[in-house]
Amino acid sequence: MPDNTAFGQVRATRPSGAQAIGVDRLNHRQRDVLCLVCKGLRNVEVGQQLGLSERTVKGYLSQLFLIFDVTNRTELAGLVGDRGFGGPTSSD
């Protein structure tokens, strides 16, 4: 019978999203959206900055949530915000 005394106290050993994939491995649009979200911009503001619809921004956010294994933008910003990556890329 397994010892359950430490249940809930030990995190899974698989790497977190930030460890599993580096920000440098994202495509340029994912990086652009990530950067602006980490700066606190709302979806509509991100879209205005990048020339994207709000729906497209939501799609990129959904991709980022899956990549980094998070459920919301606050977790996403907290997970990658300390990486110090630059602003939106200049190429399309």
| CATH number of the domain that residue 38 is part of | 1.10.10.10
Contacts of 9 (CB under 8 A, 6+ apart): none
Q: What is the pLDDT of residue 29?
A: 96
Q: Tens of pLDDT along the chain (92 residues)?
A: 555 544 444 444 445 544 445 777 899 999 999 999 999 999 999 999 999 999 999 999 999 999 989 999 999 988 886 655 444 544 44
For the chain, the domain total comes to: 1
| Angle subtended at Cα 89 by Cα 62 and Cα 27, rounded to the nearest 5 degrees | 40
Q: Which helix (H) or strand (E) holds 67?
A: helix 54-68
Q: What is the pLDDT of residue 9?
A: 40
d(CA 79, CA 87): 17
d(CA 59, CA 53): 10
In this structure, is residue 31 part of a structural domain? Answer: yes
In this structure, is residue 66 part of a structural domain? Answer: yes
Q: What is the pLDDT of residue 21?
A: 57
pTM of the entire structure?
0.68
In this structure, is residue 9 part of a structural domain? Answer: no
Q: What is the pLDDT of residue 90?
A: 47
